[in-house]
Each structure stands twice: as C-alpha cells, then as structure tokens.
Chains A and B, each alone.
Chain A
Amino acid sequence: MSFEIFLTAIPIVLKGLWLTLLITFCAFLLGQIVALPLALLARARSRLLRWPVKTWIFFIRGSPLLVQLFIIYFGMGEVDAIRNSVFWPILREPLNCAILAVGLNSGAYSAELLRGGLRQIPVGQLEAARVLGMSGFHALTRITLPQVYRNVLPVTGNEIILVMKGSALASAVTVMEMTGAARAFVSKTYAPFEVFTVAGIIYLVIGLALSQLFRGIERATAIPSSATETS
C-alpha cells in the first residue's frame, strides 16, 4: 500500500463527487415525486388502480437495480416510440438514464414506506375532518400527509443513503461519478486498494452528512409532546 497513491487518488475521486451528488439528489427527488401517487394508488379502493401499481412495485423491488439500469440504458433506444419522441435527446444521455433508473427504483421503495405510513393514521382523525366538512383533498394534504412524512422521516433518511450507494452503478453506463472516476484511475495505477478506499471514505462522509441533515429535519419538525414542554 502506498501513501502517495492514496493522496493522489483523493483529488481524482473527488472529480466524480459533483456527479455523485447530482445523481443522488435528482434520483432521490424523482423517487419522492413518484412515490406519493404510487402509494395512494396502491391504497385505492378500485382493484383496477391498485393492481398495476402493485405489479410495478413488485418488479422494481424484485430485480437488481443494475439490471433495471441496463434495461433503461440499452433497451429504451430499441423502442421506436421512445426514440422518436421529443424526450429522446434527454433519455439518450447516460447520466439521465442513471438518474431515471435509480430514481424509479427509489420511488418504488419509498412508495412502500409511505403506504405503511398512510396505514398508521387513525381513521378517527379522517372522520373528524369529514364531519368538519373538509374535502378529501384537504384531509390528505392538511391532516394525513404532514403526519405521514414526519413518521417516515427516519426511514427516508436511510433511503437517500441507499440512493447515494445506488448512484455508484452509474459508472456501469460510462458516467464518471466517483466510482467511475476511481475505476478509471485504477486502470492507470493498478492500485485498487488505495483508490477504492478513498472512494469508500468519501461515500461514508456524504452518508454521515445526509443522516445528520435528516436528523436535523426530524428535530425541527417534531411534534411537541408532554416530554418536551412548550414555553
């Protein structure tokens, strides 16, 4: 093991940091955006609405993320409707494929988290909202979701770290994020131990920062209980 290679590896791997953060942030956001409609549809009364969503979630959770990424990256070009669409220039980019794959994957997992959270809200609260005259939309946005998102915050903090780890797969489709940058450097220096150790440590630091962030949000949005008196 060489300390020198260790030091030179740091700036090289850090070159991929921006792309790692970009994929993590965008994929997480995409996941959160698709998760809510999926979770609501998965709880719909109509089986016709429930069934396709549950199947989708089943397939995404039941197959490797890398396979999903390859399907999107190599497979979408084969579909004429996609290749001829206005989105093709966007979807052709490996970076966007990675964001899409990781994001949709995270969306399915997050939908399951939200579904569990939705189930926890006591029906009595929704009945109270209904007799007060509130619409279903208002009950959802003002009563249910503020509580559900609070409740799933800790597991959502885990989810964003899973997304960060998933972003490493983007290197498989030529995106030079941190893992990609590390691999390229290894092929030049033949020092995989040092280079990947550097990458691992940087991932760890990002993960720590993200979990601190989520813990901060948790504290800031906590509902005061008898244990924490208001002033």
Chain B
Amino acid sequence: MQNNIYMIDVQGLEKFYGTVRVLDNVNLSVEKGEKIVLCGPSGSGKSTLIRCISGLEARSKGKIRVAGHDLETDCRNIGDYRGEVGMVFQQFNLFPHLNVLQNVMMAPRLVRNQEKATVRERSMALLERVHIANRADYYPEQLSGGQQQRVAIARALCMQPKVMLFDEPTSALDPEMVQEVLDVMIALAKSGMTMIVVTHEMGFARTVADRVIFMDKGQIVEGGTPDTFFDYPENDRTKEFLRKIQHS
C-alpha cells in the first residue's frame, strides 16, 4: 500500500467481447476520498469499466489495484476484496426472500464472521443514515424503487468498504425518487468515501465530483473538475454529448 498512493489504480485496461474492443487502454487513478463521476453515451463502456474494477468482469489486459488488492486478470481472487469494494447496481439487486435488515446483515455475518449484535447495531445505524430504519422488517417487494436503492447502499456500506462504485443508481427510478437516493449519496460523499459514480445527473456531478470523466467508444476522452468539464469542454465528442443530455 505504501508505494501506491491511489485507492483505485487502473493501468492499460483492455477488454474484448469476442472481437469487439469495449475498453481501450483505460487509465484511471483515484486518490483516497476522491469522487469521480463517469459519464458518456450508452454503450461507451462505463458499466464494463466499473464491473472490471469491482471484480465482476474478467479483462483482457491491464492492471487493476483497489484498496491495496491486485486483482488478477480473470478476477479469480475477487474474494480478496472481501466486500471492501462496495457496488450499487442500477437494478438494486436486493435479495427478495430476506427483509431489509437481513439483507444488510447477511454479508458481514457470513464473510467477516462478525458478532450478530455488533452487525445488527451497525446495520440499524446505517438504515437510519439512509432514512429507512422504520422499514427494517419490510421485504424488498414492499418497498419503492428509491427505498430499495437506499437499502442496497446500506447493504454495501455494512461491509465497511473503502471504495463505493455506483452504476447508474438512479436510472431505474421514477423521477420523484431520484433525489432521495442522490441525497444519501451526497451525504456519503461528504463523509469522505472514495467513489466512482456512473450517472448523468449533472447536478449531482457539480455538487459532489472532484473530477468528471467522459468516456466514448471504450476510451476515456477527457476529464476535469465539474466546472471546467461542463463549461469548457475541449473535445467535440464531449461537447456533442453535453448538448444532448442538457436538452433531454
């Protein structure tokens, strides 16, 4: 760890699906506590990139190091992360047969073997933090999308991750539920969490991001602080993308 100051370090990442190159020499270094917003057109490789970082997707080439763990090319050692790399999905992916509290408590109990009372206390505190403690005994199907996504965030946080990755966490939500999830993420960002967030919520990007990075066709095209990125984009592809999302 000492000779690597980055919390997330991606070097020369390449990923093929068959003969299609979906990630092309991606380099991304994220410092501890840094917040990155990743944007770009659909199919540009954003999901693939953070799925590679989270260890869900094997890659063809390149180095990935997260929270001091070198991830092997085929992700065989994803177990080394032991939940230290939290991930929040577009589709929530809660466990439908478990209630909210059980969803949050399960992994720390099984993976870390932590004491039940300790985990329960931490889980309830996290559910408070995402404003859903009063639904601790509800089942996912009984919750709205926004509530489910906040539970999913609490579930990831209960593993006390060093890094949180978000893949379009508000894209599957009804518009009126987007803000409640973003508010939770903003609070998390303020607490100093290292985050990579794939989103097109530009308000969120301006509030939270240290850097906004634009991807297209598997490449990182450009990146910068929110102000420079949104107000003075350099690349034509970036300009076109920004024009499109601001008109929608």
Contact = CB atoms under 8 A, between A and B. Distances in A.
Chain A bound to chain B: yes
B142 interface: yes
Contacts of A223: 96-97, 139, 141
A129 B93 CA distance: 9
B9 to A, nearest CB: 19
A230 B138 CA distance: 7
A150 interface: yes
Nearest to A226: B142
A75 to B, nearest CB: 43
A128 B79 contact: no
A22 B25 CA distance: 65
A135 B112 CA distance: 12
B107 A130 contact: no
B66 to A, nearest CB: 11
Interface in B121-177: 137-139, 141-142, 152, 155-156, 159
A130 B76 CA distance: 12
Contacts, number: 85
B219 interface: no
Given A124-B89, A138-B110, A133 B81 contact: yes
A52 interface: no
A230 B134 CA distance: 13
A55 interface: no
Given A223-B139, A225-B141, A226-B142, A132 B97 contact: no
B54 interface: yes
A224 interface: yes
Contacts of B159: 132-133
B79 A224 contact: no
A183 to B, nearest CB: 46
Given A130-B78, A132-B156, A133-B83, A143 B95 contact: yes
Contacts of B111: 132-135, 138
Contact of A132 (B83, B91, B138): B83
B94 to A, nearest CB: 8
Nearest to A126: B93
A128 B78 CA distance: 13
A142 B110 contact: yes
A224 B159 CA distance: 26
A224 B141 contact: yes
Most chain B CB within a 10 A radius of its CB, from A125, A128, A129, A226: A128
Nearest to A138: B110
A223 B156 CA distance: 23
Contact of B139 (A125, A133, A143, A225): A225
B55 A130 contact: yes
Contact of A131 (B85, B94, B97, B138): B85
Interface string A215-231: 00000000111100110
A125 B93 contact: yes
B83 A150 contact: no
Contacts of A226: 141-142
A147 B141 CA distance: 14
Interface of B: 54-56, 78-79, 81-87, 89, 91, 93-97, 106-107, 110-112, 137-139, 141-142, 152, 155-156, 159
Given A127-B87, A132-B83, 9 more contacts: A122-B93, A124-B93, A127-B93, A128-B93, A131-B85, A133-B79, A143-B95, A225-B139, A229-B142
Report the 7 A-B pairs with minimum CB-CB distance, sorted nearest first. A133-B83, A132-B107, A128-B93, A124-B93, A133-B111, A133-B82, A225-B141
29 contacts: A124-B91, A124-B93, A127-B56, A127-B89, A128-B87, A128-B89, A128-B94, A128-B155, A129-B107, A131-B56, A131-B81, A131-B83, A131-B86, A132-B159, A133-B83, A133-B84, A133-B111, A133-B112, A134-B107, A135-B79, A138-B111, A143-B95, A147-B97, A224-B141, A224-B142, A225-B142, A226-B141, A229-B142, A230-B138
